[in-house]
Amino acid sequence: MFGWIRYIFLFFLACPFLALSHHSVALNFTQEIVTVEGRIKDIKWINPHASFVLEVTNEAGEKEDWLVELLAVIALRRSNFNFDALTNGASIKLSGRNGIKKNTMRFGEAILSDGTSITENAFFYRRDL
């Protein structure tokens, strides 16, 4: 009689762990830190993840687009992220975790043309990880 209650209890006990795995950076990004330079275009300050396209000139001199993913807008607001610093057309040097898919990366640190450093939150980007 109480057997099914045990299974329901175990299911709800496991739910938080399933949510953590869904939000894992390891699902889409490697531990490898890459650095690229380019011009920002097509910024999307939306949930569940903000993103922008970075137009980069590769070693062959060809332009290629990199999709850069950030935290959700609400999480960026909570960490006092400087939204005004990243604008369409701005040139930046960007470091972050390389994506599993080609030309994708997880935002880590952006260095603006004036030398200003922009990060989402120190907890989410550590060079030693």
- DSSP structure string for 95-108: EEEEESSTTEEEEE
- Phi and psi, residue 60, nearest 5°: -85, 0
Coil, helix or strand for 17? helix
Residue 22 has pLDDT above 70, yes or no: no
In tens, the pLDDT along 45-64 reads 988 889 999 999 999 999 99
Of 32, 31, 94, give the one whose Cα is nearest residue 67: 94
pTM of the model: 0.75
Bridge partners of 29, per DSSP, are 99
In tens, the pLDDT along 81-117 reads 999 999 999 999 999 999 999 999 999 999 999 999 9
pLDDT of residue 79: 85
Q: Where are the domains of the chain?
A: 27-119
Determine which helix (DSSP H) or strand (DSSP E) holds 14, and give its type and residue range.
helix 3-22
Q: Which long-range contacts (CB under 8 A, 24 or more apart) does 84-89 make?
A: 85/110, 85/112, 85/116, 85/118, 86/40, 86/43, 86/52, 86/110, 86/118, 87/40, 87/43, 88/40, 88/41, 88/42, 88/43, 89/39, 89/40, 89/41
- As its CATH architecture, domain 27-119 has Beta Barrel (2.40)
